Amino acid sequence: MVVLVFNCGSSSLKYELFETDPEQSLAAGIADRVVVRAGRDASLYHEPADGEPLVLECPMPDHEVAVGYVLEALTDSEHGVIRDLTEIAAVGHRVVHGGERFAESVLIDDDVIAAIEQFARLAPLHNPPNLQGIRASRSRLPSLPMVAVFDTAFHQTMPQYAYIYGLPYELYEQHGIRRYGFHGTSHRYVSQVAAEMLAQRGIRPQDQHIVTCHLGNGCSMAAVLGGKCIDTTMGFTPLEGLVMGTRCGDLDPAVVPYLCEKLGISVREVDALMNERSGLLGLSGVSSDMRDLRQAAQSGDERAKLAIEVFCYRVRKYIGAYAAALGGVDAVVFTAGIGENDAYVRRRCVEGLETLGLCLDGSRNEDKALRGQAADVSAADSPGRILVIPTDEELLIARDTAAIVGGTSLD
């Protein structure tokens, strides 16, 4: 089945076209700076799997126009990968927030759209552009079935004691204040790959204890027991948990009123400070990008060193916490930009965790030849495995879409 996957942000539209049987990516790309300055500086980058990329500067005042350019690129005689749009069987959309209603991917209808709209109050920066992408593609491809795949869905199996905060219970009932978790599609994808790797070592899927670490610009971890998420570090919003590129992660909430008072700034300004000027950027004063920090640290920059230290310590601490939550660890998985590429960070994140049965093979961890593939970088006799698994959220969205449209079961 040919499935088109959209991941729509406020000013960008990422896409990938898949054949799902056998699985193969046909083309991928991004429409960038959509809407910004009425889309005047917008561009489309389109890359066929076997062919030359296409770069187009074209005005894209809204997402519908952007979808139009994407569809043209996919069918273009020179850079296209399908003859015409009738070859596309379905469209899968990434949606950030599915609230408590969606524990799985669903076929999109008007009722689902209304629910996504309702959850926009919980994800004001994400659900509205996700919806714009859905509406734009429904308008351009009105006859096609569409599926929504939610970032929050994988975490819906958390027990209540893991997702509830120590606040008055009415705030949960009346305002939905609880831990939702994000990056669920990535955690689900890499935990499935890890589950297959552990099964090959004779550990039955239902007995597996897996900790997944998605370390990119945004960072989160999940504790996965027998394939089900039982805890995750991001919370009511993607601000909680690990230290990230620009987000602070865990913080004493009393810091917020203190800063408002001391600095004479509004809650909204503190919120922006915690989301946009904190984390690796705020600690180092250098950059939010781990590559820059590693370079600065190598040149002796003390604050860059501190930022990396804080980053790795927080991950290490959560591995310990999740070992306790799971009752043991069969595998720790590293994924996303930092997790897949930065051997030093991986080493620091598992340093001293031999007591939990996690022993790294230092040279396999550094082996660049293993990049881009699922790799076991633990020592041969390590009781628990340390795995590096490239994430592929788009592929999982395509799989779910094909399963729902084709009437087969998910996973």
Rounded to a whole number of angstroms, the minimum distance from the CB of residue 290 to ligand AMP is: 4
Q: Is 338 in the site for ligand AMP (CB under 6 A)?
A: yes
Rounded to a whole number of angstroms, the minimum distance from the CB of residue 245 to ligand AMP is: 6
235, 241 contact by CB (below 8 A): yes
Among 341, 365, 378, 401, binds ligand AMP (CB under 6 A): 341
405, 90 contact by CB (below 8 A): yes
Taking Cα atoms as reference points, which of 200, 220, 222 lies closest to residue 209? 222
Helix extents (H) in 119-266? 127-140, 160-163, 169-175, 184-199, 255-263
Binding region for ligand AMP (CB under 6 A) out of 1-9, 47-55, 151-159, 287-295? 287-295
Which one-letter amino acid corresponds to residue 245? G
* DSSP 8-class letter at 362: H
Compare residues 129 and 337 and give the one whose CB is closer to ligand AMP: 337
Rounded to a whole number of angstroms, the minimum distance from the CB of residue 103 to ligand AMP is: 25
Q: Is 238 in the site for ligand AMP (CB under 6 A)?
A: no
Binding region for ligand AMP (CB under 6 A) out of 117-125, 170-178, 192-200, 285-293? 285-293
Among 245, 249, 282, 384, binds ligand AMP (CB under 6 A): 245
Q: Is 216 in the site for ligand AMP (CB under 6 A)?
A: yes
Rounded to a whole number of angstroms, the minimum distance from the CB of residue 338 to ligand AMP is: 4
260, 270 contact by CB (below 8 A): yes
Among 32, 76, 151, 207, the active-site one is 151
Q: Three-state SS for 237? A: coil
The token pair that represents 185 in the structure block:
């599609």
187, 231 contact by CB (below 8 A): no
Q: Is 337 in the site for ligand AMP (CB under 6 A)?
A: yes
The token pair that represents 330 in the structure block:
């069969």
Q: Is 9 in the site for ligand AMP (CB under 6 A)?
A: no
In 169-322, DSSP assigns E strands to 209-215, 219-225, 228-232
Binding region for ligand AMP (CB under 6 A) out of 201-209, 271-279, 332-340, 373-381? 332-340
Compare residues 336 and 387 and give the one whose CB is closer to ligand AMP: 336
Helix extents (H) in 76-225? 110-118, 127-140, 160-163, 169-175, 184-199
The token pair that represents 179 in the structure block:
């831990």
# residues contacting ligand AMP (CB under 6 A): 11
Among 64, 289, 301, 361, binds ligand AMP (CB under 6 A): 289
Q: Is 291 in the site for ligand AMP (CB under 6 A)?
A: yes
Sequence-ordered list of residues with C-beta below 8 angstroms from that of 405, at least 6 positions apart, any chain: 1, 3, 89, 90, 107, 145, 147
Compare residues 337 and 384 and give the one whose CB is closer to ligand AMP: 337
Rounded to a whole number of angstroms, the minimum distance from the CB of residue 293 to ligand AMP is: 8
Rounded to a whole number of angstroms, the minimum distance from the CB of residue 140 to ligand AMP is: 28
Show contacts with ligand AMP in window 166-205 (CB under 6 A): none
Alpha-carbon distance of 376 to 169, in angstroms, equals 43
Compare residues 146 and 387 and give the one whose CB is closer to ligand AMP: 387
The rounded Cα 299 to chain-centroid distance in angstroms is 31
Is there a catalytic annotation at residue 367? no
350, 388 contact by CB (below 8 A): no
Compare residues 125 and 199 and give the one whose CB is closer to ligand AMP: 125
Compare residues 25 and 391 and give the one whose CB is closer to ligand AMP: 391
Alpha-carbon distance of 344 to 140, in angstroms, equals 46
Interface with ligand AMP (CB under 6 A): 216-217, 245, 289-291, 336-338, 341-342
Query: Which residue numbers are catalytic?
Result: 151
